[in-house]
Amino acid sequence: MNPEQHNNYFLENFETERLRFRKLSWDDFDDWQALFISDDVALFLGMDPKLSKKELTQFWFDKTMDRYEKQLGSMNVLINKKSNRLIGQSGLLIQTIEGEDRLEVSYSILPEFWRKGYAFEAANACLNYAFENEFSDNLISQVDPRNIGSEKVARKNGMILEKTILDEKNAPLNIFSIQRETWLNKKGNG
């Protein structure tokens, strides 16, 4: 991973078949509160489900804006090109896993839009973008073991379970990963 490329991790103005990526803005705050309609979402993201939707959203925005400032990758807002509605976020984040900086393909979709393929569409675009631009030889996705939907997205992206670690709260966290070489072979045969 090349630290000078951190600014390039933004997929701002990037598009897929159904989605347009852009930077998160404070204007998105009210729409993003819908992510926390279920306590499971807060748990899956390592957040305290006892917090209100507004507090959880504030924490999310503060963390995202801090990442922007420190050039630690970005979560991009996902806009449905047809309806122009915010449907989720996805991006490339620098994460420290057991003392090593790793590049993560991350995704969160508003519950209203679950099971419509948006998470895979966005995550796959991020994965391809990272490998095409040679940001890293290995990408990960961190998945709470209870989050079957996110595990399915990681596996569909060609990732395999690399290991299970304990997060800062001593809770298990699955690390799925894919090597650039594996991606290139799959792409060449696909």
Say how far residue 21 (Cα) sits from the centre of its chain. Answer: 13
Least confident piece of the model among 5-9, 127-131, 137-141: 5-9
- Which pLDDT tens digit goes with each residue over 132-177? 999 999 999 999 999 999 999 999 999 999 999 998 888 899 999 9
Phi, psi at 102, each rounded to 5°: -130, 150
| Cβ-proximal residues to 93 (8 Å cutoff; 6+ apart), any chain | 9, 67, 72, 73, 74, 75, 103, 104, 106
pLDDT of residue 3: 44
Interval 94-106: pLDDT, tens: 999 999 999 999 9
Q: For residue 93, what pLDDT band results from cuts at 50, 70 and 90?
A: very high
CA distance 80 to 29: 17
pLDDT score for 33: 94
User: Would you say residue 1 has pLDDT above 60?
Assistant: no
Domain 3-189 is classified in which CATH homologous superfamily?
Gcn5-related N-acetyltransferase (GNAT) (3.40.630.30)
